[in-house]
Structure 1
Amino acid sequence: MLENAVARRYSNAFFAIAQEQGLTDRLETELKNVVDAIYSNEDLKRVMEHQLVSPEEKKVILEKVFIDEISEVTMNFLKVVIEKYRASYIPAIYEEFVSYANEARNMADAQLKSAAELTEADMALIKTKLSEVTGKTVRLHAEVDPNLICGVVVRIGDKVIDSSLVGRLKKLKENLLQIEVKEIGVRN
């Protein structure tokens, strides 16, 4: 809970700056690149998240690694985050920033898991249906999960649409367990 509140507060401030300066897309990309770089390098991740490494040392490292990669706006923002001992929140701040940016663009990201590779036509149809339901332009991120056996699971925001065989079997099991509980209760 604390992480979400902190991430929202910082990302809201950064997003306001981005909108004010007309740099939303650029700053989103820069923040993503920072997150990807930090969390793809285990040593850098440990240093940035370690509480005994001083904010000053972290800022020096940040400048050395990203000086030619990110704007002064992003660099200054990250320095503030680090000064406030919030470096470990950077990925969550990025996620919240993307949410704000998507809302401003009237976009939504959807994660789709399917049991098998879907055709471009199937993907386009799912994307169209999700856009109709949400009233937003949907960016679909697909991955194959053979554990689903068949069907798809779509997560968009906090909603999940589960039309997989595994999901249907779980629902059937829940329904059967409720019937058994009701029957046992009636007999007593």
Structure 2
Amino acid sequence: MSLVASKYARALFDVAVDKDQLDEIFSDFKTATDLFSSEKKFMDLMLTPSLNTGEKKGILMRSLESLSNQYVKNYLMILMDKNRFEDIFDIYEAFRKLCNEHKNLVEARVLTVIPLDETLRIALEENLAKRFNKKVILENEIDKSILGGAVVYVGDQIIDGSIKNQLSQMKKQVNNLRLH
């Protein structure tokens, strides 16, 4: 993550905490970045050098009328004025991390062959919460290539309990036996 993204994210985070609007600002900032992510042509338009900043800001404001938080709208205008709009996704990621730290949350992703049932998902969240001493937000993704079991990603840690990994480990052990 760039220093620019960290600084801009910290500025928005400080305002959100100071104004006691962290959830509202996070929600609106996420809505805006989701729009830019899903509408590539819109993002390309915002980065087009042939449009002047005033025109871009007008288009941006009309497109984001649904946002309720004025701080987010002002923040996006500042990014446009400072020619930092291309950094918005990195800024959002840095902002999201600051929010999670502030709320003592950790995001986890679990890969399984079939969707986790609710009971198992809750049990996994509770076990991860104990292990990391944080509230866990768990996202389940389907990946048939793991064959069975689960692979859990929490931050930069990986907990691999997949059948694919177990078979790979067994193969290494057999190959090591052959060498001796």
Q: Quote the residue 1:99 is aligned against.
A: 97
Higher mean C-alpha displacement, 21-30 vs 47-56: 47-56
Alpha-carbon distance in 2 for matches of 1:176, 1:37: 51
* Unaligned runs of at least 5 residues, structure 1: none
Q: Quote the residue 2:150 is aligned against.
A: 152
Alpha-carbon distance in 2 for matches of 1:143, 1:98: 20
Secondary structure (helix, strand or coil) at the match of 2:114 reads: coil
Alpha-carbon distance in 2 for matches of 1:118, 1:98: 25
Alpha-carbon distance in 1 for matches of 2:29, 2:74: 12
Higher mean C-alpha displacement, 10-19 vs 62-71: 62-71
Alpha-carbon distance in 2 for matches of 1:172, 1:48: 52
Alpha-carbon distance in 2 for matches of 1:18, 1:141: 26
Q: Quote the offset at 1:168 in angstroms.
A: 3.0
Write the letter of the residue equivalent to 2:24: R
After TM superposition, list the pairs within 5 Å mapping 1:21-60 onto structure 2: 21-60=19-58
- RMSD of equivalent CA atoms: 2.2
Alpha-carbon distance in 2 for matches of 1:39, 1:23: 24
Alpha-carbon distance in 1 for matches of 2:84, 2:168: 40
> How much identity, in percent, do the aligned residues show?
26
Q: Quote the offset at 1:110 in angstroms.
A: 0.7
Higher mean C-alpha displacement, 123-132 vs 110-119: 110-119
Alpha-carbon distance in 2 for matches of 1:174, 1:60: 60
Write the letter of the residue equivalent to 2:41: D
Write the letter of the residue equivalent to 2:124: I
Q: Quote the residue 2:6 is aligned against.
A: 8
After TM superposition, the score normalised by the length of structure 2 is 0.89
Secondary structure (helix, strand or coil) at the match of 1:43 reads: helix
Q: Quote the residue 2:160 is aligned against.
A: 162
* Unaligned runs of at least 5 residues, structure 2: none
Q: Quote the offset at 1:53 in angstroms.
A: 3.7
Q: Quote the offset at 1:170 in angstroms.
A: 4.1
* Cα pair distance change 1:72/1:148, threshold 3 Å: same
Q: Quote the residue 1:125 is aligned against.
A: 123
The count of aligned residue pairs is 179
Higher mean C-alpha displacement, 114-123 vs 27-36: 114-123
Contact 2:67 2:73 in 1 (8 A): no
Alpha-carbon distance in 1 for matches of 2:64, 2:116: 38
Q: Quote the residue 2:70 is aligned against.
A: 72
Matched, 1:87 2:90: no
After TM superposition, the score normalised by the length of structure 1 is 0.85
